[in-house]
Amino acid sequence: MICVIDYGVGNLFSVEKALLQFSSDVKVTSSKEEIEKADKLVLPGVGDFGECMSNLEATGLIPTIMKKLEEGTPLLGICVGLQIMFEGSEENPSAKGLGIFKGMVRKINAPELKVPHMGWNSLDFSEPRLPLYDGLNEHPYVYFVHSYHAVPEDKSIITATTEYGETLTAAVAKDNIMATQFHPEKSGDVGLKILQNFIEM
Protein backbone atom coordinates (compact mmCIF):
# COMPACT_ATOMS: atom_id res chain seq x y z
CA MET A 1 0.00 0.00 0.00
CA ILE A 2 1.16 3.52 -0.86
CA CYS A 3 0.01 6.06 1.73
CA VAL A 4 -0.25 9.75 0.85
CA ILE A 5 -0.01 11.37 4.27
CA ASP A 6 -2.96 13.68 4.92
CA TYR A 7 -2.12 16.43 7.39
CA GLY A 8 -4.36 19.12 5.94
CA VAL A 9 -1.96 20.60 3.35
CA GLY A 10 -0.85 19.75 -0.16
CA ASN A 11 -2.38 18.66 -3.43
CA LEU A 12 -3.43 15.36 -1.89
CA PHE A 13 -5.90 14.24 -4.47
CA SER A 14 -3.82 15.41 -7.44
CA VAL A 15 -0.98 13.29 -6.07
CA GLU A 16 -3.34 10.37 -5.45
CA LYS A 17 -4.77 10.58 -8.97
CA ALA A 18 -1.28 10.57 -10.51
CA LEU A 19 -0.15 7.59 -8.41
CA LEU A 20 -3.30 5.62 -9.23
CA GLN A 21 -2.16 5.49 -12.86
CA PHE A 22 0.52 3.00 -11.75
CA SER A 23 -0.96 1.31 -8.68
CA SER A 24 -4.48 0.55 -7.50
CA ASP A 25 -3.31 0.39 -3.89
CA VAL A 26 -3.03 4.10 -3.05
CA LYS A 27 -4.68 5.72 -0.05
CA VAL A 28 -4.84 9.30 1.21
CA THR A 29 -4.79 8.87 4.98
CA SER A 30 -4.12 10.38 8.38
CA SER A 31 -4.47 6.97 10.06
CA LYS A 32 -1.50 5.87 12.15
CA GLU A 33 -2.50 2.23 11.64
CA GLU A 34 -2.58 2.52 7.84
CA ILE A 35 0.73 4.40 7.74
CA GLU A 36 2.30 1.67 9.89
CA LYS A 37 1.24 -0.91 7.27
CA ALA A 38 2.39 1.15 4.25
CA ASP A 39 5.00 -0.16 1.80
CA LYS A 40 5.72 3.39 0.62
CA LEU A 41 4.91 6.87 1.89
CA VAL A 42 4.33 10.17 0.09
CA LEU A 43 4.59 13.44 2.04
CA PRO A 44 3.13 16.36 0.07
CA GLY A 45 3.15 19.96 1.22
CA VAL A 46 1.99 23.33 -0.12
CA GLY A 47 2.19 26.83 1.27
CA ASP A 48 3.81 27.98 4.49
CA PHE A 49 6.64 26.01 6.19
CA GLY A 50 5.43 26.87 9.70
CA GLU A 51 1.83 25.97 8.96
CA CYS A 52 2.86 22.64 7.44
CA MET A 53 4.95 21.75 10.50
CA SER A 54 2.22 22.86 12.89
CA ASN A 55 -0.38 20.77 11.06
CA LEU A 56 1.90 17.73 10.92
CA GLU A 57 2.70 18.00 14.64
CA ALA A 58 -1.02 18.25 15.45
CA THR A 59 -1.70 14.91 13.78
CA GLY A 60 0.63 13.09 16.17
CA LEU A 61 2.01 11.17 13.17
CA ILE A 62 5.64 12.33 13.33
CA PRO A 63 6.89 9.45 15.56
CA THR A 64 5.13 6.93 13.28
CA ILE A 65 6.65 8.46 10.14
CA MET A 66 10.13 8.59 11.67
CA LYS A 67 9.86 4.95 12.78
CA LYS A 68 8.86 3.93 9.25
CA LEU A 69 11.88 5.76 7.85
CA GLU A 70 14.19 4.04 10.32
CA GLU A 71 12.75 0.71 9.16
CA GLY A 72 13.69 1.58 5.57
CA THR A 73 10.26 2.38 4.14
CA PRO A 74 10.68 4.51 0.98
CA LEU A 75 9.32 8.05 1.31
CA LEU A 76 8.83 10.69 -1.37
CA GLY A 77 8.46 14.30 -0.20
CA ILE A 78 6.97 16.91 -2.53
CA CYS A 79 7.45 20.72 -2.42
CA VAL A 80 7.12 21.84 1.22
CA GLY A 81 7.23 18.11 2.00
CA LEU A 82 10.91 18.41 1.01
CA GLN A 83 11.48 21.64 2.95
CA ILE A 84 10.16 20.33 6.28
CA MET A 85 12.72 17.50 6.13
CA PHE A 86 15.34 20.14 7.00
CA GLU A 87 16.07 21.84 10.32
CA GLY A 88 14.25 25.11 9.69
CA SER A 89 13.31 27.83 7.22
CA GLU A 90 13.83 31.57 6.82
CA GLU A 91 10.10 31.70 6.05
CA ASN A 92 9.27 30.92 9.71
CA PRO A 93 12.42 31.21 11.84
CA SER A 94 10.64 30.03 15.01
CA ALA A 95 9.37 26.79 13.40
CA LYS A 96 11.55 23.71 13.63
CA GLY A 97 11.60 21.20 10.79
CA LEU A 98 11.86 17.43 11.09
CA GLY A 99 15.66 17.59 10.97
CA ILE A 100 15.98 14.49 8.79
CA PHE A 101 18.59 16.43 6.81
CA LYS A 102 20.96 19.05 8.21
CA GLY A 103 20.62 22.48 6.64
CA MET A 104 18.17 25.33 6.26
CA VAL A 105 15.57 26.46 3.75
CA ARG A 106 16.52 29.86 2.33
CA LYS A 107 14.71 32.57 0.36
CA ILE A 108 15.44 32.44 -3.37
CA ASN A 109 17.98 35.16 -4.23
CA ALA A 110 16.92 36.27 -7.70
CA PRO A 111 16.71 40.09 -7.68
CA GLU A 112 16.25 40.31 -11.45
CA LEU A 113 13.48 37.71 -11.52
CA LYS A 114 10.00 37.32 -10.10
CA VAL A 115 9.73 35.40 -6.84
CA PRO A 116 7.96 33.02 -6.32
CA HIS A 117 9.64 30.89 -8.94
CA MET A 118 6.53 29.65 -10.71
CA GLY A 119 6.34 27.58 -13.87
CA TRP A 120 8.40 25.15 -15.93
CA ASN A 121 12.14 24.88 -15.55
CA SER A 122 14.77 22.32 -16.52
CA LEU A 123 16.67 20.01 -14.19
CA ASP A 124 20.39 19.27 -13.96
CA PHE A 125 20.95 15.85 -12.44
CA SER A 126 23.76 14.99 -10.07
CA GLU A 127 25.92 11.96 -10.82
CA PRO A 128 25.38 9.12 -10.40
CA ARG A 129 21.79 9.67 -11.44
CA LEU A 130 19.19 8.43 -8.97
CA PRO A 131 16.98 5.51 -10.16
CA LEU A 132 14.03 7.85 -9.47
CA TYR A 133 14.97 9.60 -12.73
CA ASP A 134 15.37 6.50 -14.93
CA GLY A 135 14.00 6.98 -18.43
CA LEU A 136 14.20 10.78 -18.42
CA ASN A 137 16.24 12.86 -20.83
CA GLU A 138 19.27 14.87 -19.75
CA HIS A 139 17.49 18.12 -18.83
CA PRO A 140 13.76 17.46 -18.47
CA TYR A 141 11.31 20.24 -17.66
CA VAL A 142 9.24 20.10 -14.47
CA TYR A 143 6.81 22.42 -12.72
CA PHE A 144 7.84 24.59 -9.75
CA VAL A 145 5.94 26.89 -7.38
CA HIS A 146 8.17 28.15 -4.55
CA SER A 147 9.86 31.15 -2.95
CA TYR A 148 12.29 29.14 -0.80
CA HIS A 149 14.70 26.30 -1.44
CA ALA A 150 16.71 23.93 0.72
CA VAL A 151 20.43 24.49 1.28
CA PRO A 152 21.75 21.17 2.63
CA GLU A 153 24.93 21.05 4.71
CA ASP A 154 25.78 17.79 2.94
CA LYS A 155 25.79 18.66 -0.76
CA SER A 156 25.99 14.96 -1.68
CA ILE A 157 22.27 14.55 -0.93
CA ILE A 158 21.36 16.94 -3.78
CA THR A 159 20.14 14.82 -6.70
CA ALA A 160 18.96 17.62 -9.01
CA THR A 161 19.28 21.39 -9.31
CA THR A 162 17.67 24.10 -11.40
CA GLU A 163 18.76 27.62 -12.33
CA TYR A 164 16.66 30.63 -11.34
CA GLY A 165 18.80 33.64 -10.49
CA GLU A 166 21.04 31.20 -8.62
CA THR A 167 21.46 27.44 -8.47
CA LEU A 168 18.50 26.04 -6.55
CA THR A 169 18.10 22.64 -4.92
CA ALA A 170 15.43 20.86 -6.96
CA ALA A 171 15.62 17.43 -5.31
CA VAL A 172 17.41 15.56 -2.54
CA ALA A 173 17.78 11.94 -1.48
CA LYS A 174 19.54 9.71 1.00
CA ASP A 175 18.95 5.98 1.27
CA ASN A 176 15.17 5.38 1.35
CA ILE A 177 14.25 9.09 1.64
CA MET A 178 13.67 11.11 -1.55
CA ALA A 179 12.12 14.53 -2.12
CA THR A 180 11.46 16.98 -4.94
CA GLN A 181 10.97 20.73 -4.70
CA PHE A 182 9.01 20.59 -7.94
CA HIS A 183 5.58 18.99 -8.30
CA PRO A 184 5.73 15.63 -10.14
CA GLU A 185 1.92 15.47 -10.18
CA LYS A 186 1.87 18.73 -12.19
CA SER A 187 4.88 17.94 -14.43
CA GLY A 188 3.23 16.01 -17.26
CA ASP A 189 4.86 12.85 -18.57
CA VAL A 190 8.17 13.62 -16.82
CA GLY A 191 6.49 13.82 -13.43
CA LEU A 192 4.44 10.70 -14.07
CA LYS A 193 7.60 8.80 -14.95
CA ILE A 194 9.19 9.90 -11.66
CA LEU A 195 6.14 8.70 -9.73
CA GLN A 196 6.13 5.42 -11.66
CA ASN A 197 9.82 4.92 -10.85
CA PHE A 198 9.11 5.55 -7.16
CA ILE A 199 6.29 3.01 -7.14
CA GLU A 200 8.39 0.38 -8.94
CA MET A 201 11.44 0.72 -6.65
Catalytic machinery residues: 79, 183, 185
3-state secondary structure labels for all residues of the chain:
CEEEECCCCCCHHHHHHHHCCCCCCEEEECCHHHHHHCCEEEECCCCCHHHHHHHHHHHCCHHHHHHHHHCCCCEEEECHHHHCCCCEECCEEEEECCCCCCEEEEECCCCCCCCCEEEEEECEECCCCCHHHCCCCCCCEEEEEECEEEEECCHHHEEEEEECCCEEEEEEEECCEEEECCCHHHCHHHHHHHHHHHHHC
- Pick the closest to residue 130 from 169, 176, 97 (CA basis): 176
Asked whether 130 and 159 are in contact (CB, 8 A), the reply is yes
